[in-house]
A and B are shown apart, each in its own frame.
Chain A
Amino acid sequence: MDAINVRDLKKTYAGGVEALKGLTFSVRQGEIFGLLGPNGAGKSTTVRIIVTLSSATEGRVEVDGVDVAADPVEVRRRIGYVSQNTTVDFLATGRENLHLQGQLYGHSGAALDNRVDELLKLFDLESAAKRVTQTYSGGMKRRLDVAMGLVHRPKILVLDEPTTGLDPESRAVMWRELERLAKDGGMTILVTTHYLEEADRLCDRLAIVDGGKIVAQGTPNELKATLRGDIVQVEIAVGHDAEAAAQLLRSTPGLSNVIREGQTCSAQAEEGAHVIPKLIAALEAAGLPVSHVAMSRPSLDEVYLSVTGKSFTKADAAGAAGPRGPVPAAMRTAKPGAK
């Protein structure tokens, strides 16, 4: 039995906004599953229906075999939810936050006290347990959010953008926590993200959501394998015309999707190893010395581009609350080093 089963999910809000246009995916027991997509793609709406906060217009969702529409209370007992922004009580201490959350799940007494202690320790919040959360850092609040989602020992944890707004270090800590929960705790984790790197690094399987639909689904490697070939990256020595180099790449047979960013040109190659020596020779012959060459397997950036027809950063910036502002397509970086 799948941990979460979503069939043909549709959601139309009052006013006629179609947020979901028929989403189907399933999350297997014990895996980390990612919903990847730009802001406004429908990730949060999907998650809110799964955790019973919103209801579907059409379609069916089962959590651990329980239909969310038929028995929402049972679903709430089996699932833990961590929402997009921190929801800690600012005027309560870390311990009080956890305690109340446990009480609302019907836990009490020594069992709850022990569970709270356990979670404070697990999320490295012991020393701050007696402080009001107003004094916590962003990373600490986020860890407390996750701890609160776990207080009732759910089988399934659902996190909506758990790392948005965190500094890189806190993000890495969060990834480690989630990986540990899945591996050691045997938990099933559903996570939404708009970071490709995060989806790539963290998820066993993922689905790319765009415009209320799932446009691709599989393991990160499967998705990348749908793109044939390699990504080739050449850096032109400073002081030489990189745009001329990009033009040369565009006219080279066997290369496609050429993008220039500063002195670096990248392209998709059918046979990277085959084309690189010829490419370097051609560039040198044209008086464009190469200072650095790299070749890599495609990253999820390229997958995203190929399935949605738009660059990820651009789609994200166009979404409701893109924090980065509009980014020209040419600025999009192929991330050969991502994995």
Chain B
Amino acid sequence: MKFILDVFHLLMRQWRITLRMPIFLVVSIVQPITWMLLFSQLFGKITMLGAFGSSYVQFLAPGIAIMSALFGSGYAGMGLLNDIDRGVVDRFLATPVTRSALIIARVTHACMTVGVQSCVILGVAMILGARPKAHIISFAAVIIAAALLGGGMAGLSNAMAILTRRQETMFAVLNFTMLPMIYLSSMIMAKQLMPPWIQTVCKYNPVDWAVTIARGGFEGNDWFVWRLAALAGYTTFFGVMATVAFRRYRQTM
């Protein structure tokens, strides 16, 4: 019970921080929209290859939601690093707050922001002509896939922040991880058109799991239950990893 209350209070703090950085808010909404406009222009003719369905925007929208989830929460660890360096984490640790709540609140916050971001992205995609085939279920699929991926990425990011303790190192590791994860998935390219080895890599890439779930739901197809379970497992794994890293950090002090 104390754990849930602690997570709730710290979550409210995270939201307060988010809402009081208006430029950050605007960028995190405008950026994915820009990507969508840019990619749909740049790769528009790709539909001629077949395997993309009727329009590229239709194909792209769930992918952009997942990409934004990845990038949006990939840098979540920066906030933790700031709080560690400024002594805010120590101030919290000197209270009886449940230790793991400090990490879980951050991961939950990432899930929530990513969810909101996905809604906006889907709204814009619909203006551009994309159509969620299964209505509310389509929305749910995209939002859940994005939130789970975002949460896992936030866990990884927080763990990296604790383990590296340096912004530069953390950025280097995360950039090195995130870009290949995007391009080794079916985010912008249909799976049938990929070389076989990338198709194989895709099977083990959580980004591709999320894209497949989101796109499947958006098109009104199967939700791919086993992928959803795998994605939830990935989120849990990195959430736990961040919590364990945090415990180790406290013990070395």
Residues of A within 8 A of B (CB): 14, 48, 51-55, 73, 76-77, 79, 81, 83-87, 89, 91-92, 96, 100-101, 103-106, 132, 148, 152
Q: Which one of B13, B86, B96, B252 contacts A100 once the chains associate, using CB atoms below 8 Å?
A: B13
A100 engages B253 (CB within 8 Å): no
**Complex interface: chain B residues within 8 A of A76 (CB):** 94-96
Minimum C-beta distance from A192 to chain B (A): 15
Q: Which one of B20, B86, B96 contacts A73 once the chains associate, using CB atoms below 8 Å?
A: B96
**Complex interface: chain B residues within 8 A of A86 (CB):** 87
Q: Which of B21, B93, B96, B97 has the most CB of A within 10 A?
A: B96
A52 engages B94 (CB within 8 Å): yes
B86 engages A104 (CB within 8 Å): no
A89 engages B253 (CB within 8 Å): no
A89 engages B94 (CB within 8 Å): no
A48 engages B96 (CB within 8 Å): no
Do most interface residues of chain B lie in helix, strand or loop, or is the interface mixed?
Answer: helix
B90 engages A83 (CB within 8 Å): yes
Docked pose: A79 CA to B2 CA in angstroms: 19
Q: A79-B94, A83-B94 are in contact. List 8 more A-B contacts (CB 8 A).
A: A84-B87, A85-B86, A87-B86, A87-B91, A89-B88, A104-B9, A104-B97, A105-B96
A91 engages B17 (CB within 8 Å): yes
B 74-91 to A, binary, CB cutoff 8 A, 1 in contact else 0 = 000000000000111011
A-B contact pairs, 24 of them (CB 8 A): A14-B252, A48-B253, A53-B90, A53-B93, A53-B94, A53-B253, A55-B251, A55-B253, A76-B96, A77-B96, A79-B94, A81-B91, A83-B87, A83-B90, A83-B94, A87-B90, A89-B13, A89-B88, A92-B16, A101-B91, A101-B95, A104-B6, A104-B97, A148-B91
Docked pose: A85 CA to B9 CA in angstroms: 24
B5 engages A103 (CB within 8 Å): yes
Docked pose: A101 CA to B88 CA in angstroms: 11
Docked pose: A146 CA to B187 CA in angstroms: 51
Give the size of the chain B interface in residues (CB under 8 angstroms): 24
Residues of B within 8 A of A (CB): 2, 5-6, 9, 12-13, 16-17, 20-21, 86-88, 90-97, 251-253
Do most interface residues of chain A lie in helix, strand or loop, or is the interface mixed?
Answer: loop
Docked pose: A12 CA to B12 CA in angstroms: 38
B88 engages A87 (CB within 8 Å): yes
B253 engages A104 (CB within 8 Å): no
Q: Which residue of A lies closest to B12 (CB)?
A: A100
**Complex interface: chain A residues within 8 A of B20 (CB):** 91, 132
Docked pose: A91 CA to B93 CA in angstroms: 20
**Complex interface: chain B residues within 8 A of A48 (CB):** 253
**Complex interface: chain B residues within 8 A of A85 (CB):** 86-87
B9 engages A81 (CB within 8 Å): no
**Complex interface: chain A residues within 8 A of B5 (CB):** 103, 106
